[in-house]
Amino acid sequence: MGEVAGAGLIAHVPTIVLPEPVRRELNNGADSTLVSGLHQLRKDVFDVLDYDTVVVLDSHWATTVEFVVTAQQRRAGLFTSEELPRGMSQRPYDFAGDPELAHLIAGRAAAHSTWITAIDDDHLPIFYATTNVWEFLGKGLPDKRWISIGVCQTADVEDNLRLGRALGDAIAESDRRVLLIASGAMSHTFWPLRRLRDHEAAEVEHIFTPEAAAADAERLEWFAAGDHARVLDTMPQFFRFKPEARFGHYLMMIGALGEGDCTAPGRRYGEYENSVGTGQVHVWFDRPAGGFPRPRRTPDDPDYRRQTHA
C-alpha cells in the first residue's frame, strides 16, 4: 500500500534560476532566500527521505475539459520559456516518469465524479513550474520518478479537491511512496509593465497591495499551525487577491491529504518574498505519525457521509 511521504507549497519563480549576480542586482545586493530555501529543502527532505515518485501539481499548465497527468516513461529535452525566454533559455531537464501511477490516478476519476486523462505523448509541452523545481529538488537523483498534473482552468474549488481525492486514493492503491509539490504562488497580481521594474526586489512592501500581503501572511500563520480547515473555509475571501491558478495547486494537494482533516503543520524554507507583485514562499508539510488522513469521498458519493461524519 502506497502513501504520501510529504508535501509542500513551493515557489517556482523565474528568479530562482537566474545567475546569482543577476538575482542580487534585482534585489538591492541581497540574494533571494527562495534559492537558499530550496537548497536546504533538498538537503533536509529530497536527499534523505525514502520516496519513489514526485507528483508536481503544476500551476502553469492549464487544461480546459479535464485534468491531465503525464504518463511518459521519461521526459528529457531543453526548456525555453515562452513567457520569459531571456531568463529561461535552453535549460536541460531529464527525469524518469511513472506511467503506472499516472494511469492509476486517471483510473480513479469516475469514483470521484471528475475527469482525468493520462497522456504519454512525448511532444506534450512542459512548463517551468515543473522544470524549475526539478532543477533544485530532483536533478542528480536518477532513481526518482517525476510526473506532473495540470490545473484545469474550468475547475472550481470542489473540482480541485476531487482531483486531490483521486490522487490520494491512487497513491494508496499503489506501492509508491510519493512526495507532492504544489508548485505555485499565493497572491498573484503583477505590477503593470511601466511600473514593474520599480518592484523587482524581494521585500514585502513590493507585493501588489498591502491587503494581498496581509492575506498571504494570515494563511502562512494557518499553515504553520496546521489549520488547513481554515484555509479552505476562507477560500472565497482569498480569491479577492487572485491566488495563482485560483490556488488549484494547493487545493489539489490538500485534497490528497484529507482536506480540513489534515492538521500537518508547515515549516518555512526561506522567507516570504515578492516577485513583481506576487507572493512567493516555500512551505513543507511533513508526514504525520500514522500518515496523512485518508482522502474524503466526493459529496455525492453514498459513502461520503459515512466516512466524513463517522
Q: Specify if 306 maps to a domain.
A: no
CA atoms within 13 A on the CB side of 94: 6
At 145, list the grid cell.
Answer: 520518478
- Phi and psi at residue 192, to the nearest 5°: -60, 150
Whether the per-residue pLDDT at 303 is higher than 80: the answer is no
pLDDT of residue 308: 40
pLDDT of residue 297: 78
- Reported pTM: 0.96
Q: Specify if 94 maps to a domain.
A: yes
Q: Specify if 307 maps to a domain.
A: no
Q: Specify if 194 maps to a domain.
A: yes
Whether the per-residue pLDDT at 208 is higher than 80: the answer is yes
Report which secondary-structure segment, H or E, holds 170: helix 157-173
Q: Specify if 161 maps to a domain.
A: yes
**Residues linked to residue 95 through DSSP beta bridges, in sequence order:** 75
Q: Specify if 100 maps to a domain.
A: yes
At 79, list the grid cell.
Answer: 526548456
pLDDT of residue 307: 43
Domain that holds residue 50: 3-301
Report which secondary-structure segment, H or E, holds 117: strand 116-119
Q: How many domains does the chain have?
A: 1
Contacts of 123 (CB under 8 A, 6+ apart): none
3-state SS of 11-23 is CCCHHHHCCHHHH
Report whether 185 contacts 243 (CB < 8 A). yes
* CA triple 144-53-260, angle to 5 deg: 150
Distance CA(276)–CA(206), nearest Å, equals 7
Distance CA(309)–CA(42), nearest Å, equals 38
CATH of the domain at 48: 3.40.830.10
Q: Specify if 309 maps to a domain.
A: no
Q: Specify if 308 maps to a domain.
A: no
Render pLDDT for 144-159 as a digit per residue (tens, 0 to 9): 999 999 999 999 999 9
Per-residue confidence at 137, pLDDT binned at 50, 70, 90?
very high
Render pLDDT for 46-105 as a digit per residue (tens, 0 to 9): 999 999 999 999 999 999 999 999 999 999 999 999 999 999 999 999 999 999 999 999
pLDDT of residue 28: 96
| C-alpha 174, offset from chain centre | 21
Pick 52 or 297 by higher pLDDT. 52
Distance CA(38)–CA(42), nearest Å, equals 6
